[in-house]
């Protein structure tokens, strides 16, 4: 095909470097090559479909049985053309024995073709059989005639266009297989990385939950310790208050006991002093009555004695008040 000069650099050294580098890292140039070859094959298939539609519009309609017989003749023509192209290739290489074996296969195919043509001729009218029946090559989209001779078939099937499309189709299938394998490998690696990330996330989540659990447990333990500390402090304060209240009650009881005893003592002293004063008063009155006839010296002695007894009474009263104050202290 007239495609012009290729814009790529065709260098065997660069190709060797790429093959070595692609073993260590995937550059995915196979995708570019596959897309490039796919464009050729898509264009060829499009031309093949257009040619088939054109033939269907121009050629006469035939029955399915006749079409099958004609298709058989076309298949034998294609087989003969391929074998003849192979014979020419083996002859150019100098392999005479293999070329001779292929020529024997060609003769067998020719005999089958004559039989298929005879069957096809008998199934159609003579006028219709003389017309050129064409078909489209499925490989390169070229037209092939039902009555083409062997030379014409050999030129077609051994030509560069037909062989080039065969090589393109084979290479395309190989690239599809390689790309599918690499994509499967890449998908597996991506899935593996995703599983690793999910496993790491689950591990992180588990660690965070364990840390949160430990933190919650430490918080609960600290709250429990604080609660126990507060309860202990309350118990201590309660015990201290009970002790202080018991002490205060005992002290107040002691004070009340002392004060009651002091008051009783004071009342007894006052009562005794009052009685003594009453007795003294009565005695003094008696003495006064009896001493009216006595001398002044006796009255002086009696007065001194009375003053002495009154002084002793005041000292006893002072001593009782001091004892009461000491008891309150």
Reference 116, options 141, 133, 99; nearest CA is: 133
Question: Which residues of the chain register pLDDT less than 50?
Answer: 329
Q: Are 82 and 154 in contact (CB under 8 A)?
A: no
pTM of the model: 0.52
Q: Are 104 and 87 in contact (CB under 8 A)?
A: no
Q: What is the pLDDT of residue 329?
A: 46
101-146 pLDDT, tens per residue? Answer: 888 888 888 888 888 777 777 776 555 555 557 778 888 888 887 7
Reference 1, options 120, 113, 127, 162; nearest CA is: 162
Q: What is the pLDDT of residue 173?
A: 93
Q: Which long-range contacts (CB under 8 A, 24 or more apart) does 319-322 make?
A: 320/265, 320/266, 320/269
Q: What is the pLDDT of residue 304?
A: 63
Q: What is the pLDDT of residue 327?
A: 62
Q: What is the pLDDT of residue 11?
A: 92
Residue 234 CB burial class (10 angstroms; 0-12, 13-18, ≥19): exposed
Q: How far apart are CA 151 and CA 133, in angstroms?
A: 18
């Amino acid at each position: 095909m007239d495609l012009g000069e290729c814009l790529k650099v065709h260098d065997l050294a660069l190709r060797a470097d790429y093959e070595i580098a692609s073993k260590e890292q995937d550059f995915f140039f196979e995708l570019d090559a596959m897309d490039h070859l796919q464009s050729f094959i898509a264009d060829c298939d499009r031309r093949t479909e257009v040619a088939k539609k054109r033939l269907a519009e121009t050629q006469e309609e035939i029955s399915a049985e006749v079409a099958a017989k004609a298709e058989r003749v076309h298949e034998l023509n294609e087989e003969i053309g391929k074998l003849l192209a192979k014979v020419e290739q083996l002859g150019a290489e100098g392999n005479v024995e293999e070329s001779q074996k292929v020529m024997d296969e060609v003769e067998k195919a020719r005999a089958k073709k004559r039989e298929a043509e005879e069957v096809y001729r008998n199934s159609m009218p003579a006028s219709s059989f003389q017309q050129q029946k064409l078909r489209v090559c499925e490989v390169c989209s070229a037209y092939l005639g039902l009555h083409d001779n062997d030379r014409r078939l050999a030129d077609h099937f051994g030509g560069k266009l037909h062989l080039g499309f065969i090589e393109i189709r084979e290479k395309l299938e190989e690239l599809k297989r390689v790309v599918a394998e690499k994509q499967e490998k890449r998908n597996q690696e991506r899935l593996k990385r995703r599983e690793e990330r999910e496993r790491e996330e689950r591990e992180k989540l588990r660690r965070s939950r364990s840390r949160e659990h430990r933190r919650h447990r430490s918080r609960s333990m600290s709250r429990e310790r604080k609660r126990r500390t507060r309860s202990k402090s309350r118990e201590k304060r309660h015990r201290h208050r009970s002790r202080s209240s018991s002490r205060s009650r005992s002290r107040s009881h002691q004070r009340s006991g002392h004060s009651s005893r002091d008051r009783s003592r004071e009342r007894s002293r006052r009562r005794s002093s009052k009685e003594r004063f009453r007795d003294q008063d009565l005695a003094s009155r008696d003495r006064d009555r009896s001493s009216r006839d006595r001398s002044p010296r006796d009255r002086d002695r009696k007065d001194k004695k009375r003053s002495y007894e009154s002084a002793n009474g005041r000292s006893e009263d002072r001593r009782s008040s001091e004892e009461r104050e000491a008891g309150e202290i």
